[in-house]
Amino acid sequence: MSWIDIGAIDDIPLRGARKLRTHLGCVAVFRTDRDEVFATGGTCPHRGGPLAEGIVHGRAVTCPLHNWVFDLETGQARGEDASIPTYPVRVERGRILIDATLLRRAAA
Ligand code: FES
């Protein structure tokens, strides 16, 4: 894995999300009420809704446009044959690190 710094955890509130830019493209980063952090593709596969503006509940996010619900760990949409890419992330000394290896593959 090749980790890159994409921002400070304090910039994302609990049960919140942010769209963050990397040199390999944008990702949506979510922080749950249990202080877990997840990163996914930022665009809903239904009609392009901005997932970083969705509602975070448990380990899931609800798309703000038509309420599809995505599991943040697997990327699978509940009740739909669709998914979003997920990326490994970790938090170290207050900074969010993302695995650039998978981002590179997604950008290719
Ligand atoms: S665009 Fe996300 S549910 Fe329709």
The answer to whether residues 86 and 51 touch, using CB atoms and an 8 Å cutoff, is no
Distance 50 CA to ligand 1 centre (A): 8
Confidence of residue 81 (pLDDT cuts 50, 70, 90): very high
Residues 60, 56: Cα–Cα separation, whole Å: 6
Nearest-atom index, ligand 1, CA of 63? 2
- What's the pLDDT score for residue 107? 62
Question: Pocket around ligand 1: residues whose beta carbon is below 6 Å from it?
Answer: 44, 46-49, 63, 65-66, 68
Protein residue closest via CA to atom 3 of ligand 1: 66
Q: What's the predicted TM-score (pTM) here?
A: 0.93
Question: What value does the mean pLDDT of the chain take?
Answer: 93
Residue 108 vs residue 5, higher pLDDT: 5
| Architecture of the structural domain at 3-107 | 3-layer Sandwich (2.102)
- The domain segmentation of the chain, as residue ranges, is 3-107
Burial environment of residue 87 by CB neighbours within 10 A (0 to 12, 13 to 18, 19 or more):
buried
